[in-house]
Structure 1
């Protein structure tokens, strides 16, 4: 009987292996950027076309390669980082397995130009489907340029699994930001379809964080820095008010390598447990440095999931370091280096405080009233004081001839002392109309029905109403837009701007009048008519936050996530007082919905109580 086990051909084996490393354009971006860092580059440029499907190119000014090295780098497991098995446990560079360029060459068309400092000419190599088509000398600047063209051109089925350009671009931006954060002393730039999205100059870690996340974070970062013989940690965490409903701004680096660790993230969450809501996520950019022998980074093709020899020590150390940083923040004021320079020119700071000015200040009545011993504040009792006749403000007005005489104070009825005195005015008004709804603790609406009464959760009910209204707007008639008298300019983070560009047609149908204005900026000319004027920016930023929160739910498509996000963002919050008309409108619109009993997220909107059940509760049978 014939043998049935065969070796796979090299071309098939290469494409299978490439699938572990190059899953999408962002995978190639990560590998090429890390190679540029390892080459000692100080300036790294990333060029993207068609969200990486047409072109991913990285240009650096690093050490470059010789003719032989340029050819060898495309062989599988060809590396300059490992000579013996012991080297595998002392890795401090980003790439070391020699598989990135081989995997890229297996699923794309690659062009490489590289030149060393001492060479007169560089090397040009063209590879197509792992086959070298051309290799020749060329003119080139010092460093390396690698261009990956037409990803998955030879594997059409895998190309079909790529997402939309906006989705793939978000992944590319994520990988670019992670590498840029890890090496703030290097210059990075990102160009997409001929437009520059990012340009980061060399600087400190805080400058790099602020340039990525926004200038408003400059005064909202708390320094974390602790050192021991076993490990060191440094970086920044956001103050509690920067916590968001999404995990987006959370970065852990171990030996300058970005990692994903739910275990260490839990340590950070525990450190913030008493300062932020349980459903919020803090901002952090933290770097852990420890001996590579204590870390195994070779457990996953992307190297983003790693193992530690003692996770408990890291957990306790991270939690303790953050708690210590937050404790210092609470007692130590932060220096604000962005103080308006105009304040420094005021006379109060530039002119000397003379004895004459001191005498003038201490002689005023305001100074005396606030500096008397053993008293927080003293009321001036002099004749010039306007407080002498304060009692007259509470006396009865002078009687006129046509006024009815008022009874003396002793004949006024005494204020009731029973529990009736604490009945809410809304209940008193509702007593005149038994069918009128009543708000309970500014959170629930109580309404009488023929068989008893119902208790409505005002937020969940309004969320259901808005959800169905927005679905109708996308399917049938767009929502009316309220034009702003003064259009606002909305500047977003690049990743958020990509999301808005992707959702622009649906946002317009839902009542938003947005117009792109530059790379990451939009002009807000109008918002849905039911959003209060003046809240345009807060409305869109809140919508984005909710949308990113829903993005983790793969069971919903983009339009469904958008509608749910808008409904949750614009729903009436718990704690808001409502008029009788507003409460009645919510009840009427809720029961006109196709599914009135639950919110879009599955939360109940109302509970009904029947008279029979109430009688049983009060045990009327005696």
Structure 2
């Protein structure tokens, strides 16, 4: 029998390896930015076109590479970071596997320009699908410039799996944030389709957070500091009142590397227990410094997951540090049995002498005296005597007997009574037609048996069709606010809202002013409470960033779905009988009552026969 196992060609092996390292344009951005940081750059520029599908370019002013290093950097498993396997547990750099550039070059057109400071000229290398097409001497500034064009040009199937430009750009910006946040000593600049999106100067950690997420973020931050032999914690958490419905502003950095950890995230949630509204998530930006020997970074291709030696200790320290900060800055209540703060003397009255209050009394004043002199004139006061107060009731008895307008007896004109379909004594007439089960389902009787409706999904369908209709015919009804509502967002979030502004106005929103990091709303749709406006817009932004529809969906459809999801009756909300019946009637007046906007079943029916079988 012939041998069937064979070695794969290099270009095929590289493409397969690229699938692990490069899932989307954001993966390329991450790898190139980390290489620039490892090169000791002080200024890094990221240039993106068409959400990275056409061009991703990273320019740095780092130490550059020699001619030989430039060529070797595109070979698989070629790296300057490690020499032995033990070095994997002493890592202080971003990249170490030597797979990034080789994987990127296998699926894109790559052009590299690099020069070391002591050299007069640099090197340029052009690679297309792992094949070096040219290598020449070039005049270029100190540092390295890597241009990645036409990503996945030789793997059309992978390119077809990419999302829309809005989604892919969101992922690129996320990776940019993860790298730029923790490296405050580097100036980062990002350009998208020729326009400057970010320009982050060298600053401290707090200022870097504010530069990325907007000036309003500064007042939301609570500092967290803890230094132990095992773990050093520094950074900030967000105040509970500014918690968001989404998990966007949650960042863990271990030894200056962004990581994801559900276990450590639970420690933060535990520290905020009892302080957050239901369904909201706290923001945090925390740097964790640990001994490199106690962590294993090499367990995931994207290096965003880390294995810790002693997770339980880290959990306890992190939870107590955050809880301590919340108490220290009076965010969370703290018990102190030795002092009553309400009895403390204010600082400005600490050394002042007390003054005895004085009261002036007019000792000659007598309210029962007949003659009282008021502002220079003589008046006669009422003198209460027995005869006076009894005279008030003279004539009342005669009026009751003789006055024809007396209200002793009142007659009303009765309405014409009609015969009722049901006898008032018949118990069937008193039976409620709808019931609410566990504040989640509405149960109603139908001719063939029983109807069970999911109240949250049903209301989503009702609101979705209403919003879609209003946006289509552009006749959304708005209620004006007594005072304008000022909301603050990041620059990217404002850009998203600007794109959706017209559709939002058709639903009933009225925008009076839209600035770089804030907007002013003077009117909202009738069905939207003022307190829910910021939550709705945050949810909408999140949906647009993460769930942007395919080509056959429109922005109008997404907006209607997002608003319906935010405003629909929640599971656990109690409804009156009239509200239950109204919900049932409105649902079956919809064009597609069977499913919610996300294609989930809104109701089920159970016939009498099916119920009978349950009792057999």
**TM-score w.r.t. structure 2 length?**
0.72
Identify which of 470, 473, 480 aligns with 2:476.
480
CA contact (8 A) 1:230 1:290 kept: yes
Match of 2:490 in 1: 493
Match of 2:466 in 1: 469
Who wins on radius of gyration, i.e. which is larger? Answer: 2
Match of 2:589 in 1: 592
CA contact (8 A) 2:476 2:505 kept: no
Superimposed CA distance per residue, residues 488-508 of structure 1 (whole angstroms, 9 cap, x where no aligned partner): 886632443464466567546
CA contact (8 A) 2:464 2:561 kept: yes
The within-5 A match list for 1:39-118 is 39-118=39-118
CA contact (8 A) 1:599 1:605 kept: no
CA contact (8 A) 2:464 2:560 kept: yes
Superimposed CA distance per residue, residues 186-217 of structure 1 (whole angstroms, 9 cap, x where no aligned partner): 11111101111111111111111122222222
- 1:514 Cα deviation from its structure 2 partner: 6.9
- Tell me, yes or no, if structure 1 residue 226 matches structure 2 residue 226: yes
Classify the secondary structure of the residue corresponding to 1:191: strand
Match of 1:192 in 2: 192
- 1:58 Cα deviation from its structure 2 partner: 0.8
Greater shift in the superposed pair: 482-491 or 461-470: 482-491
CA contact (8 A) 2:44 2:58 kept: yes
Match of 1:177 in 2: 177
Structure 2 Cα separation of the partners of residues 575 and 494 of structure 1: 36
- Tell me, yes or no, if structure 1 residue 154 matches structure 2 residue 154: yes
Superimposed CA distance per residue, residues 531-576 of structure 1 (whole angstroms, 9 cap, x where no aligned partner): 57xx4x9626523326637987899978666434312434579999
CA contact (8 A) 2:164 2:548 kept: no
- 1:136 Cα deviation from its structure 2 partner: 2.0
- Tell me, yes or no, if structure 1 residue 548 matches structure 2 residue 545: no
- Tell me, yes or no, if structure 1 residue 9 matches structure 2 residue 9: yes
Greater shift in the superposed pair: 152-161 or 589-598: 589-598
Match of 1:567 in 2: 564
Q: 1:313 to 1:587 in 2, by over 3 A?
A: same
Q: Which residues of structure 2 form unaligned runs of 5+?
A: 334-346, 368-388, 401-429, 606-616
Superposition RMSD on alpha carbons, in Å? 5.2
- 1:317 Cα deviation from its structure 2 partner: 1.9
Structure 2 Cα separation of the partners of residues 170 and 256 of structure 1: 22
Structure 2 Cα separation of the partners of residues 402 and 256 of structure 1: 95
Structure 1 Cα separation of the partners of residues 58 and 279 of structure 2: 39
Q: 1:553 to 1:284 in 2, by over 3 A?
A: same
Match of 2:381 in 1: none
- 1:292 Cα deviation from its structure 2 partner: 1.3
CA contact (8 A) 2:595 2:601 kept: yes
Structure 1 Cα separation of the partners of residues 587 and 396 of structure 2: 52
Greater shift in the superposed pair: 173-182 or 572-581: 572-581
- 1:274 Cα deviation from its structure 2 partner: 2.4
Match of 1:615 in 2: none
**TM-score w.r.t. structure 1 length?**
0.71
- 1:8 Cα deviation from its structure 2 partner: 0.7
Q: 1:580 to 1:125 in 2, by over 3 A?
A: same
Greater shift in the superposed pair: 21-30 or 561-570: 561-570
- Tell me, yes or no, if structure 1 residue 248 matches structure 2 residue 242: no
Classify the secondary structure of the residue corresponding to 2:225: strand
Greater shift in the superposed pair: 592-601 or 217-226: 592-601
Match of 2:336 in 1: none
Q: 1:162 to 1:596 in 2, by over 3 A?
A: closer
Structure 2 Cα separation of the partners of residues 12 and 382 of structure 1: 109
CA contact (8 A) 2:478 2:524 kept: yes
Superimposed CA distance per residue, residues 93-136 of structure 1 (whole angstroms, 9 cap, x where no aligned partner): 00111111111111111112212222222222222222222222
Q: 1:137 to 1:382 in 2, by over 3 A?
A: farther
Match of 1:342 in 2: none
Match of 1:390 in 2: none
Match of 2:30 in 1: 30
Superimposed CA distance per residue, residues 238-291 of structure 1 (whole angstroms, 9 cap, x where no aligned partner): 121122221111111111111111111111111212222453211111111111
Match of 1:289 in 2: 289
